[in-house]
Amino acid sequence: MRRFLLAAVVAASTAPALAADVGITVSVGQPGYYGRIDIVDFPPPRLIYPQPVVIEPVPVGVVVQPIYLVVPSAQAKNWRKHCRKYDACGQPVYFVSESWYSDVYVKGHGKGKGKKQKKD
């Protein structure tokens, strides 16, 4: 039993070290990018639908913040079929228009908007 517990502790302590080697590349701003965007420090986005879309009900008493996604318009129209691809079936989703994304969001990131500035 002690050996099992020791092995479990060793395995648990090495898991975070293994996970630290994983890199994630975010291609926000690249042509053809689809996914979540953070609209903090940006003007309100132009939305495809005025109300958030929710595919799977949210459990009673659980507060889930809406997310903003840029997706192809065909996917927004048939969201039930595509929400799993974005891991967003159980969340309220606002679909941001692709033109707002490219004209405001992408250009704003190039000028430093939307990024938190370091204070010296």
pLDDT tens readout for residues 64-114: 999 999 999 999 999 999 999 999 999 999 999 999 999 999 888 765 444
Which SS3 state, helix, strand or coil, does residue 36 take?
Answer: strand
Q: What is the pLDDT of residue 57?
A: 87
DSSP string, 26-85: --TTSTT--EEE--TTSPPPPBSSSS-B-SSPPPTT-----EEEE--HHHHHTHHHHGGG
- pLDDT higher than threshold 90 for residue 36: yes
Position 6 scores a pLDDT of: 43
Entry pTM: 0.67
Distances (CA, A) of 14 to 1, 21, 88: 20, 12, 30
The DSSP code sequence of 76-100 is HHTHHHHGGGGT-TTS-EEEBPHHH
Q: Cβ contacts of residue 52 below 8 Å, gap of 6+?
A: 66, 92, 93, 94
Judged against a pLDDT cut of 50, whether residue 51 lies above it is answered with yes
- For residue 41, pLDDT over 50 is answered with yes
Angstrom distance (rounded) from CA 34 to CA 57: 24
**In whole angstroms, what is the distance from residue 78 CA to residue 75 CA?**
5
